[in-house]
């Protein structure tokens, strides 16, 4: 039996995903090495104890054991996003799945929580896309380059930011002139803004009516200034459809990366800033976080 137990522990420690086994009252019975790496907590300080407060949103909330059944969290048997605090204090988003353990009579004995960091491509926030949209392919191609560039930044490269851009008139143009006109316009806008990119910067589709610019500006102020240039280029794009000239503007959300945040965090900031610009009437730039939208000069 001892040999089997040891083999089981070695096998669980070799898993790439974090794994926690919880008893009926929420105490931690097993904590593998991947869980240690993801959370910063080693098994010796957790075993046979209740989870520390920073881990409760992940473990007790998702397992539904003890007195925490009313808490929201990952549902049993289904992947869901969860957030907890690392031992060092920063927020960690993960994809978590909970398996409730029951005895022969159906009584709840505990739970297994399996989790991994949410920095995978599937966890990245994207723009809105209709089913079968041509933007999906361009978006998928851009993801790899975006993720690779962010990893370079995390390993010491200076400066990383994103500009989340939506064309204010795209929705109306699609309704009045059709999808073909809208796609032609978006191609024109992409070329206009690409002419203003700096070396090593890239622009890619990030939704039906949206773009993402990968930038290496070093400060939020420099990133916002760069966004002003791209907004100006967008306004000068000469788009005509069946002889009608269509005036175009963009709403931009600018977000500068911070060392402790994930790529998904950065994109969420940029997306929220873009929505703020759009809701302010369009033709705006908003820097995230904590800056007010302003009209491009």
Confidence of residue 225 (pLDDT cuts 50, 70, 90): very high
Radius of gyration of the chain measured on its C-alpha atoms: 24
Burial class (CB in 10 A: 0-12, 13-18, 19+), 89: exposed
Residue ranges of alpha helices (H) inside 81-214 are 135-154, 170-177, 179-194
Per-residue pLDDT, 122? 47
Going by C-alpha positions, the residue among 86, 55, 85 that lies closest to residue 68 is: 55
Tokens of 12: 């669980």
More confident residue, 104 or 219: 219
Residue 293 scores a pLDDT above 50: no
Quick one: average pLDDT of 211-236?
A: 93
Domain 121-288 of CATH type 3.30.70.270: yes
CATH 3.30.450.20 residue ranges of the chain are: 2-117
Whole-angstrom distance, CA of residue 90 vs CA of residue 158: 21
Whole-number Å distance between alpha carbons of 121 and 125: 9
Say which range, 3-7, 63-67, 146-150, has the weakest mean pLDDT: 63-67
3-state helix, strand, coil in the chain (%, to 5): 35, 25, 40
- Residue 203 burial (C-beta neighbours within 10 Å; 0-12, 13-18, 19+): buried
The model's confidence at residue 272, banded by pLDDT at 50, 70 and 90, is very high
Average pLDDT over residues 268-274: 93
Q: How far apart are CA 203 and CA 6, in angstroms?
A: 51
Instruction: List the single range of 91-100, 207-216, 272-281 with lowest mean pLDDT.
Output: 91-100
pLDDT at 6: 79
Better pLDDT: 233 or 237: 233
Say whether pLDDT at 176 is over 50.
yes
Residue 32 is predicted with a pLDDT of 94
pLDDT of residue 66: 42
Q: Any idea which of 119-123, 226-230, 279-283 has the lowest mean pLDDT? A: 119-123
Above 70 in pLDDT, residue 76? Answer: no
Q: Is the pLDDT score of 297 beyond 90? A: no
Domain with CATH 3.30.70.270 in the chain: 121-288
| Euclidean distance between CA atoms 292 and 96, whole angstroms | 35
* pLDDT tens column, 98-133: 888 888 888 888 889 999 887 544 457 776 666 555
The per-residue pLDDT for 175 is: 86
Q: Please give the pLDDT value at position 152.
A: 86
pLDDT bucket at 16, cuts 50 / 70 / 90: confident
Confidence (pLDDT) at 137 = 53
Average pLDDT over residues 293-297: 48
pLDDT at 259: 78
Average pLDDT of the residues of the chain: 82
Q: How confident is the model at residue 58, as a pLDDT?
A: 86
pLDDT of 195 strictly over 50: yes
Average pLDDT over residues 249-266: 90
- Most confidently predicted of 117-126, 149-158, 199-208: 199-208
Bridge partners for 114 per DSSP:
19, 97
Q: Which pTM value belongs to this model?
A: 0.57
Q: What stretches of the chain adopt beta strand conformation (E)?
A: 18-22, 28-31, 80-85, 91-102, 108-117, 161-167, 202-205, 210-215, 239-241, 244-246, 250-256, 285-288
Give the domain 2-117 fold. Answer: Beta-Lactamase (3.30.450)
- The H helix count followed by the E strand count for the chain is 8, 12
């Amino acid at each position: 039996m001892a040999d089997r137990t040891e083999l089981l522990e070695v096998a669980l420690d070799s898993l790439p995903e974090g794994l926690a086994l919880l008893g009926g009252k929420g105490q931690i019975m097993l904590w593998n090495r991947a869980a240690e790496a993801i959370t910063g907590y080693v098994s010796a300080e957790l075993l046979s104890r209740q989870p520390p407060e920073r881990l409760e949103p992940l473990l007790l909330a998702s397992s539904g054991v003890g007195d925490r059944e009313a808490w929201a969290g990952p549902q049993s048997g289904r992947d869901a996003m969860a957030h907890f605090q690392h031992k060092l204090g920063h927020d960690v988003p993960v994809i978590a799945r909970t398996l409730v353990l029951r005895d022969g009579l159906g009584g709840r004995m505990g739970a297994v929580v399996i989790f991994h960091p949410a920095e995978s491509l599937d966890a990245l926030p994207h723009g809105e896309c209709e089913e079968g949209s041509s933007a999906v392919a361009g978006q998928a191609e851009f993801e790899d380059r975006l993720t690779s560039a962010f990893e370079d930044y995390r390993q010491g490269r200076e400066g990383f930011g994103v500009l989340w851009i939506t064309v204010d008139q795209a929705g109306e143009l699609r309704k009045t002139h059709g999808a073909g006109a809208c796609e032609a316009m978006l191609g024109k806008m992409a070329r206009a803004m690409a002419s203003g990119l700096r070396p090593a910067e890239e622009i890619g589709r990030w939704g039906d009516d949206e773009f993402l610019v990968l930038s290496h500006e070093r400060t939020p102020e420099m990133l916002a200034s760069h966004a002003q240039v791209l907004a100006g280029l967008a306004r000068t794009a000469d788009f005509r459809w069946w002889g009608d000239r269509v005036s175009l503007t963009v709403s931009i959300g600018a977000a500068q990366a911070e060392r402790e945040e994930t790529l998904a965090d950065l994109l969420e900031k940029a997306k929220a800033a873009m929505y703020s610009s759009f809701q302010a009437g369009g033709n705006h730039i908003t820097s995230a976080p904590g800056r007010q939208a302003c009209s491009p000069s």
